[in-house]
Structure 1
Amino acid sequence: MMSEHEVSDSSSRPHVDIWTDGGCKPNPGPGGWGVLLRFQGREREMKGGDPETTNNRMELTAAAVALETLTRPCTVCLYTDSEYLRNGITRWHTGWVRRNWRNASGDPVANMDLWRRILDISKKHDVEWHWVKAHAGHAENERVDQLATEGREELTREP
């Protein structure tokens, strides 16, 4: 199993598959995120939450945490069911950066702190961003959905 700070000891760029998910109930409200990393047949799961957040912030947090876990440059296939995350990172961010982190309407970009975090850590890796349909029987996507729910529920459990 990978430790928090170790992905591979090989000298070549390792390949890592990552699945991420996040959500809130209600939105906004308590939220959770989940991550599944797969490297050389080994898996690592992570989850967490925030007592007051949004679905989009949890989706972005999951991706940021997953990429920050990698301690050396990797080739990454990252799978998300969030079109917001995938479109933001593959299409919209160039305009935001060009407009000094303003959207097309001239307003500050929502979740700018997380977008910057993801863009910064992504520079270290070769990341391919893949969208998968949610709740469509994709085993890894279902697992990270479950982890995100657990992350949220752990915040709201009575002691």
Structure 2
Amino acid sequence: MTITAAADGSALGNPGPAGWAWYIDENRWHAGGWPHGTNNQGELMAVLDLFRSTAHVPHEPLRILCDSQYVINCVTKWMPNWKRRGWKKADGKPVLNVDLLRQIDEELAGRTYTFEWVKGHAGHALNEAADERARACATAFQAGAAPVVGPGFDGSLPRELPAAAPRAVPEPPAQAPEPVQDDLFGVEVPGAEPREVEAVVELEQELLDPETRSDFGQLAYLLHPEYREIGQSGRLWVRDEVVDALVQDPELSVSFELVEASALSPDLIQVLYRTASAEGSALRSSLWQRADGRWRLRFHQGTPEA
């Protein structure tokens, strides 16, 4: 019999007092949190604790409902490559929240599970129940009170949980790229390495995550100050208009299919991909520019497919 549970996280201030929770029904749920953490840490901890809480019934498949595409992508898409690279991203920098991700990876062994994205704050009963409990824990830590942690899966709780959220791993200084041959002038110039192209593809996918799209600070970090976008209607958007629109309506449910990603120059990478949703499919082109040691999206255009 499949166990269906919603997992959710909450952070007041992000980072700030943080909570997490998973919820099956009124008799089976668990919640917790920390005085200081992020929303993503709460989302990951809810998934980790759900696996631990059901470890004594490993034959029961888990159907996990998440409103965080970050968590779903971490577990179902990105972790294998991160592990292969020694828990490093494609650009060689450490993976954030690696402590939680390593533990989740250990818990996956021998388990049958699926992840399903659900729209947050949209009336989904299980998601709303998990969100309510996660936020209640965050609020309790904000007030210095003891949170209500729930009964667990069958009246018992898993082994002791961390009293503090894992600390982010500091990123090492970026290394200079290897020189490549310039076919036009016949001289060597620094070029974008394959791992940098992979990193930009991951950044492009991050921008499809509703959690990223709702985060004003993260959008400001990823979008170049001179960012321009030609929308599917043909309208030209400037950076501030795009940021405001995404923050007000961040929800998105699309699939991502990479067509091609390549370096056009040492500091310019183009990503061509296809998205598909209930409204149809579109071909998209993004230009990422490296400035001040980091990649930022400079231009994007989407064209509906016939």
Identify whether the pair has TM-score above 0.5, normalized to the shorter chain: yes
2:34 matched residue in structure 1: 50
Q: 1:158–1:110: structure 2 CA closer, same or farther, 3 Å change rule?
A: closer
Contact 2:15 2:37 in 1 (8 A): yes
1:36 matched residue in structure 2: 23
1:107 matched residue in structure 2: 93
1:67 matched residue in structure 2: 51
Q: Which runs of 5+ in 2 are unaligned?
A: 146-306
Output the CA distance in 2 between the equivalents of 1:158 and 1:76. 34
Cα distance, 1:29 vs structure 2: 0.8
Identity of aligned residues (%): 35
> 3-state DSSP class of the match of 2:19?
strand
> 3-state DSSP class of the match of 2:72?
helix
Q: Between Structure 1 and Structure 2, which shows a larger proportion of helix residues?
A: 1
Contact 2:18 2:34 in 1 (8 A): yes
2:78 paired with 1:92: yes
1:11 matched residue in structure 2: none
State the Cα deviation string for residues 102-122 of structure 1 (Å, max 9, x = none).
001111110111111111111
> 3-state DSSP class of the match of 1:21?
strand
Cα distance, 1:156 vs structure 2: 1.9
Cα distance, 1:89 vs structure 2: 0.5
Q: Between Structure 1 and Structure 2, which shows a larger proportion of strand residues?
A: 2
The CA RMSD measured in Å over matched residues stands at 1.4
Output the CA distance in 1 between the equivalents of 2:35 and 2:141. 6
Contact 1:18 1:35 in 2 (8 A): yes
Contact 1:76 1:128 in 2 (8 A): yes
Output the CA distance in 1 between the equivalents of 2:130 and 2:83. 30
**Residue 147 of structure 1: which of 133, 145, 156 is its match?**
133
> 3-state DSSP class of the match of 1:64?
helix
Q: Larger Rg: 1 or 2?
A: 2
Contact 1:102 1:109 in 2 (8 A): yes
Output the CA distance in 2 between the equivalents of 1:75 and 1:43. 19
Paired residue type of 2:46? A
Cα distance, 1:96 vs structure 2: 0.2
Paired residue type of 2:18? G
Cα distance, 1:128 vs structure 2: 0.4
Cα distance, 1:20 vs structure 2: 0.4
Higher relative CO (CA 8 A, sep ≥ 6), structure 1 or 2? Answer: 1
Contact 1:47 1:150 in 2 (8 A): no
Q: Which runs of 5+ in 1 are unaligned?
A: 1-13
Output the CA distance in 1 between the equivalents of 2:83 and 2:117. 23
Number of equivalences: 143
Output the CA distance in 2 between the equivalents of 1:66 and 1:28. 23
**Residue 104 of structure 2: which of 118, 134, 140 is its match?**
118
1:20 matched residue in structure 2: 7
Cα distance, 1:158 vs structure 2: 5.0
Paired residue type of 1:72? V
Output the CA distance in 2 between the equivalents of 1:154 and 1:28. 15
Output the CA distance in 1 between the equivalents of 2:144 and 2:38. 22
Output the CA distance in 2 between the equivalents of 1:30 and 1:154. 8
Q: 1:158–1:94: structure 2 CA closer, same or farther, 3 Å change rule?
A: closer
